[in-house]
Amino acid sequence: MTRIDAKFEELKAAGKKAFVAYVMAGDPDEATSLELIKGLPGAGVDIIELGVPFTDPMADGPTIQLAGQRALEAGMTLQKTLDMAKAFRETDDTTPIVLMGYYNPIYSRGVDKFLVDAKEAGIDGLIVVDLPPEEDEELCLPAQAAGLNFIRLATPTTDDKRLPKVLTNTSGFVYYVSITGITGAAAAQATDVGPEVARIKAKTDLPVIVGFGIRTPEAARDIAAVADGAVVGTAIVGQVAEGKPVAEILEFVSGLAAGAHSA
Amino acid sequence: MANDLFNSFMTGPDEKGRFGDYGGRFVSETLMPLILELEAEYEKAKTDASFWEEMEYLWKHYVGRPSPMYHAERLSERLGGAKIYFKRDELNHTGAHKINNVLGQIILARRMGKTRIIAETGAGQHGVATATVCAKFGLKCVVYMGAHDVRRQAPNVFRMRLLGAEVIPVTSGRGTLKDAMNDALRDWVTNVRDTFYCIGTVAGPHPYPAMVRDFQSIIGKEAKEQLAEMEGRLPDTIIAAIGGGSNAMGLFFPFLDDKSVRIIGVEAGGKGVNEKMEHCASLTGGRPGVLHGNRTYLLQDEDGQILEGFSISAGLDYPGIGPEHSWLHDTGRAEYVSITDSEALEAFQLCCETEGIIPALEPCHALAHVMKIAPELPADHIICMNMCGRGDKDIFTVARYLGFDMSDTEIGRDAD
């Protein structure tokens, strides 16, 4: 059982929906970023999605692209991202951390070496945007064997015929992408998302968490109400971009978490 | 290589879209169903006679194929060695090989009922070809072009706009071809229902590398037939420039199993292949990685972050290369070399002077390598080089490098 599985059991027992926050590792710099992620659990975040910066984030909108650029310019690397997770683990051994990013930095490091290092750093799961089920042998299967969850994205284009393929070898939770598009674009609509989540839940026992297009406490509440939880990324990263102090960003995150938890 | 030659080099990719370890389908889940649908439609079209009839009609009457095979006599004489032929794909409608592929993809898009075409472009040749074919068929066309390229290729931007396309300058990253491809993918992932992504080179997720190669293979197929007729035999060496590698793959593919034919791909060496990475030579200066849907050789740092290439030629300014080239490189079936900006410029001038042909900067890289090897080869050695584009679009860039002041012209002021 990973920390992710444990967290969902805990939430289920408490009758609560999950609130997942995405932040870019190293944005705007290592120290600020570490301070921010250390404050997330206290702000009500159940699971941290830690973005690994990449030069060519093809599924991301401008806000997260720019966050990655800021992090890279400040010298962020995959190694430093893992170091950051390790530093976080010194004071928190229960909040799950999911690394989210693209395959090339992992491939470049070497999958086997990466998995050993990620596990050791206290990473619990991986979301790798450019690895569909067709490429499971690359990272998904080795990651599961190494005891890490591999969290797959399901999207509005994943039809019923394809859904079983997407759910096979998925663990931890299913991340439902609420819109066709990039992060931070169109707003997610609970009326669209509800039936899609139900469609997925009919085929799996895993929790279904919804992300993309959720920006406000109200939206987090409405989406969480029709799913097992909600993810907010761009709206939080946008606060970092504005140069707001960590305390203020955490206050904003608290509001979002309260929204999701009120569902 | 000797052992590999018992097997055909023309059977790839496999069912996973791989050429050896290269290629594949590294895309987000949103795009995956679209790519599978495209693959199924392409497989159907490939064996449908009516699809190829339409292609052949348009190749002949709209593009002007077959393109000539031309004996570059004065150039051969000047270099004093091998007999040099140009496969003249620069004489195609729109001035480059790009339209060969665009026609195929747009006919496919029409069969699939797609009404909106998106494309990325570097030098603008693929964008112009896409805008052209979209105009011909009355389809909406959106072209993503790096903001830096929009400046240095102003004439092509104007052409695309005349043809009714919307040109979107891409400002993310350094604003070159790689970034334009990212934004095209972002568009596609957003507009999945009505949009067809017309990729301009033999890269991207499967089936693009194979499909674009198949459409471009008309170049090599014609070259083989023309040389058989003119010389009664195969060429000894075939050579082409490589950015993503579509004109090269088109020339090479029909010759892959002709083991007597030496195959050379020429990458853009920019200011020289060095650790400063001021070049675009993915094979000579990069290592395997995953970008834009495929595994291939890439320019990247030790953390797997993609580096920006550097080349005088916007059409070669891409940090990757088609996966089939990576495989041909590893198996040794094709050789890959690099040529610097200044060598390409020298070739540009020589071609103008000796043959009365103003070549694009892209094939000048191939020509510069011909200049290196031809003098050492015997007179009966036949080299066939793909003259894949004409140089009208490049005269402003070349003028600037040669110190010729064109700033008095309207267009000169817009060109970077």
Q: Using one digit for the tens of pLDDT, what is the confidence trace for A130-166?
A: 999 999 999 999 999 999 999 999 999 999 999 999 9
Name the residue of chain B whose CA is nearest to A108's CA: B304
Q: What is the pLDDT of residues B358-380, one digit of tens each?
A: 999 999 999 999 999 999 999 99
Write down the pLDDT at residue B6.
59
Q: CA-CA distance, B211 to B199, in Å (whole number)?
A: 10
Contact B360, B388 (CB under 8 A): yes
* DSSP letters for B95-131: SBTHHHHHHHHHHHHHHTT--EEEEEESSSHHHHHHH
Residue B315, pLDDT > 90, answer no
- Banded model confidence at residue B318, pLDDT cuts 50, 70, 90: confident
Write down the pLDDT at residue B2.
46
Catalytic residues of A: 49, 60
Residue B12, pLDDT > 60, answer yes
pTM above 0.90, yes or no: yes
Give me the mean pLDDT over the B136-158 stretch: 93
| In chain B, % of residues over pLDDT 70 | 95
Residue A101, pLDDT > 90, answer yes
Which residues in chain A touch residue B302, judged by CB atoms under 8 angstroms apart?
Answer: 108
Residue B415, pLDDT > 50, answer no
Contact B131, B163 (CB under 8 A): yes
| In chain A, % of residues over pLDDT 70 | 100
Write down the pLDDT at residue A187.
85
Compute the mean pLDDT over every residue in chain A, rounded to the nearest whole number. 96
Write down the pLDDT at residue A172.
97
Which residues in chain B touch residue A71, judged by CB atoms under 8 angstroms apart?
Answer: none
Asked if B384 has any chain A CB less than 8 Å from its own CB, the reply is no
- Banded model confidence at residue B312, pLDDT cuts 50, 70, 90: confident
Q: CA-CA distance, B132 to B384, in Å (whole number)?
A: 29
**Residue B14 structure tokens:** 């496999």
Compute the mean pLDDT over every residue in chain B, rounded to the nearest whole number. 93
Q: What is the pLDDT of residues B99-132, one digit of tens each?
A: 999 999 999 999 999 999 999 998 899 999 999 9
Contact B254, B213 (CB under 8 A): no
Q: How far off is chain B from A67, nearest CA to CA, in Å?
A: 12
- 3-state secondary structure (DSSP) of residue B403: coil
Paired residues of B23 in beta bridges:
B18, B295
Q: What is the pLDDT of residues A197-254, one digit of tens each?
A: 999 999 999 999 999 999 999 999 999 999 999 999 999 999 999 999 999 999 999 9
Residue B208, pLDDT > 70, answer yes
Q: Which of A107, A158, A162 sits opposite B289 (nearest CB)?
A: A107
Residue B3, pLDDT > 70, answer no
Write down the pLDDT at residue B365.
97
What is the assigned CATH class of domain A3-261?
A: alpha beta
Name the residue of chain A whose CA is nearest to B305's CA: A55
Asked if A192 has any chain B CB less than 8 Å from its own CB, the reply is no
Q: How far off is chain B from A153, nearest CA to CA, in Å?
A: 6
Q: CA-CA distance, A257 to A151, in Å (whole number)?
A: 21
Q: What is the pLDDT of residues B59-85, one digit of tens each?
A: 999 999 999 999 999 999 999 999 999
Q: CA-CA distance, B254 to B301, in Å (whole number)?
A: 35
Q: Which of B24, B27, B306 sits opposite A55 (nearest CB)?
A: B306
List, in order, residues 6 or more apart from A238 with CB less than 8 Å away. Answer: A63, A184
Q: Which of B27, B185, B192 sits opposite A132 (nearest CB)?
A: B27
Write down the pLDDT at residue B283.
92
Name the residue of chain A whose CA is nearest to B26's CA: A130
Q: A residues 62-81 near B, CB within 8 Å?
A: 62, 65, 72, 77-79
Q: How far off is chain B from A260, nearest CA to CA, in Å?
A: 25
Could A108 and B303 be called an inter-chain contact, meaning their C-beta atoms sit closer than 8 Å? yes
Name the residue of chain B whose CA is nearest to A180's CA: B190
Write down the pLDDT at residue B410.
54
Write down the pLDDT at residue A189.
87
Question: Does ipTM exceed 0.90?
Answer: yes
Q: Can you give the length of chain B in residues?
A: 416
